[in-house]
Structure 1
Amino acid sequence: MVLIGILVALVLERLLGRYSGWGRPVIFLRIMSLVRSLLPRAIWQSPVLPLLAIALPAAAAHWLCGLFLNPLLNLAASAGVLLLCLGPRDLAEDVRDLLAAREAGDLARAQRIVRNLQRGPQPDQSHRSLMGTLFIQSHEKLFGVLLWYFVAGPAGAVAYRVATRLPRLLAETAAGSSAQFTAEALHGLLAFVPARITAVLYGLAGSLDDALIEYRRLRAEAQHGWRSHTWALLAEIATASLRSEDDAGQAQAPDLNTALQEVLGMQLRALMILLALFAIFATGSMF
């Protein structure tokens, strides 16, 4: 049933993603705006806030889906929760908009799209390439949510979705506070294993040899903190998987437009691999 719920949510997300405004975090932002208006400033900036902001919605999702004893109704509720947790916006739409802006010569629009994509976790200044950003956003919008849903059901999907949104909100409303630090730490903790699984998926979907070489290089350097190292691994390993070889057998990276198209192709291939793995675990058989 979990796998069916994932498939239903992915199909609906693909269909509804064509409508303007779909996938924006309106519910999250409105609820958090209300909470902020009600809570004293000291509590809003305290480390307790991120813990409650993640735990309470996850518990509510678990309780809500548990109300439906009928398997079909439970499936519909779970798939609905997962659907709300995917995004915001499909990465394919962002990439297509970026390609269209570049082809039209609209540099201002292209830069605006890039800035929107670069919101969220980044490895560090030396790893803030567009390709790395796209792969991180792909994980945040899709793979991380799916992995947590498969492990912990709707509660896991909600917890990860909130964890990805909370650091940015607190950076804008409680910058430098213990609440922001706690939110970033919780996000990094929840992403620690899923981000590495996503990196493996991209390696399998692209050039696995180049991905392994990049992994060994990053492991040898060990110059990042544990949170930034997670994003560096995901960005650099996934980007390395894009490399191809020329006639002389030398590794080379594709041009930007080709790379943007390849990102979408790799995301689709990685998603197919993940769904196949889900199917194996769900059925408990390789056959």
Structure 2
Amino acid sequence: MSFLALVLVALVLRFTPWRSGFPVDLLSVLVRSVATHTLSRPIWLAIALLVLPLLLCGLLLWLADGLAYGLVTLLLHALVLLLCVGRSDPLGSMASNIEEAWQRGDQEAAALLAERDLQLDATSPESLVLGLRGELAWESFQGYFAPAFWYLLLGPVGALLYRLIANFQRQGEHPLQPIMSSARHALDWLPARLVGLSLALVGHFDRVLLTLRGQLLNWDTQSRELIALCVESAQSATLDDQGEAVRIMRPVRILLTRSLMVWAVCVAFINLIG
């Protein structure tokens, strides 16, 4: 069931206008509403309101179990995953306007667009490229890899839990935010290292392993930083070798797409032997 749901979602993301998941980001709307209405209330109230959609999801899955030979359950799994995927389309249109400006040779416009759209404050062309690649890698991780990991481990409720925590972690003024940040770090820790290992398989193996060796068991290393380091290490060419402007994002997208394929093959194999 889990593999079929992932394949169905991948087909929807690839071949329909829903490349950024469900058209309305319902989870972000829910989290903002909860954060706004519980800002001056006890923390437990915000937690209770966030648990409600998890309970509702579990109840719907229980009620749908066995209906129409499992087809209803499959559709519910796919719908929850579409709600949980990232909204930025990192393997497609994300940063396309920045790439176009770079391709025209207008590095100043590219830097301004990166600052406006991605809050990247680049002081040089090299730092801009590194920042863009890091953003693409991070958005792919939190938009695809991490929700898929928790879906495979805990089902739709796991993916929903991850997305709710990730969204609430951005509510900087809420008293629950520090707790959510710690929970997010814990939820990201293992899948980030698995992504690093998959990047080693599809990229420069020795360099990625060297990067991971010092960080693999380090709890304090931020997942965002680790993913960016692994992506840079996985590339076979350096920044100096990649002079064509159009190619500044393409190698990263190729690596991340191949990493997703590695995950898909592993999931399919586990389903076959399981």
User: Into which bin does the TM-score normalised by the smaller protein fall?
Assistant: 0.7 to 0.9
Deviation at 1:57?
2.5
Q: Which amino acid aligns with 1:15?
A: F
In 1, are the aligned partners of 2:21 and 2:86 still within 8 Å (CA)? Answer: no
Deviation string for 1:253-278 (max 9, x for gaps)?
64564241011111111111100000
Q: 1:34 to 1:138 in 2, by over 3 A?
A: closer
Give the distance between the partners of 1:275 and 1:26, measured in 2 at CA: 25
Partner residue in 1 for 2:182: 185
**Aligned length, in residue pairs:** 260
Q: Secondary structure at the match of 2:167?
A: helix
The question of 1:265 aligning with 2:254 is answered yes
Residue 14 of structure 2 is aligned to residue 14 of structure 1: yes
Aligned to 1:275: 264
Match of 1:41 in 2: 40
> Which residue, out of 200, 204, 207, partners 1:207?
204
1:85-116 deviations in Å (ceiling 9; x for gaps): 11113112104343223224385466434654
The 8 Å contact of residues 16 and 22 in structure 1, kept in 2 or not, is answered as no
Secondary structure at the counterpart of residue 188 of structure 1: helix
Gaps of 5+ in 1: 120-127, 246-250
Do the aligned partners of 1:6 and 1:79 also contact (CA within 8 Å) in 2?
yes
Give the 3-state SS of the residue equivalent to 1:42 in structure 2: coil
Aligned to 1:163: 165
TM-score normalized with structure 1 length: 0.78
Q: Cα distance, 1:280 vs. partner?
A: 0.8
TM score, norm. by length of structure 2: 0.81
Paired with 1:56 and 1:63, the residues of 2 have a C-alpha distance of: 10
C-alpha deviation, 1:135, in angstroms? 1.2
Q: Does 1:239 align with 2:239?
A: no
Identity percentage over the alignment? Answer: 21
Task: Indicate the residue corresponding to 2:127 in structure 1.
Answer: none
Residue range with higher mean Cα deviation, 230-239 or 108-117: 108-117
8 Å CA contact 2:34, 2:49 repeated in 1 = no
The alignment's C-alpha RMSD in Å is 3.1
Name the CA shift for 1:252/1:207 in 2 (closer, same or farther; >3 Å): farther
The unaligned stretches of length 5 or more in structure 2 are 121-129
1:53 and 1:209 mapped to 2: Cα distance? 46
Letter aligned with residue 146 of structure 1: A
What is the alpha-carbon distance in structure 1 between the residues aligned to residue 114 and residue 22 of structure 2? Answer: 16
Alpha-carbon distance change, 75 to 265 in structure 1, aligned in 2, over 3 angstroms: same
Q: 1:273 to 1:42 in 2, by over 3 A?
A: same
Residue pair 1:81, 1:154 contacting (<8 A) in 2 also: yes
Give how far 1:64 is off.
1.6
Q: Secondary structure at the match of 2:94?
A: helix
Cα 1:38/1:93, change in 2 over 3 Å: same
Structure 2 CA distance for partners of 1:142 and 1:17, relative to 1, 3 Å: farther
Task: Classify 1:53/1:199 alpha carbon distance in 2 versus 1 (closer, same or farther; 3 Å).
Answer: farther
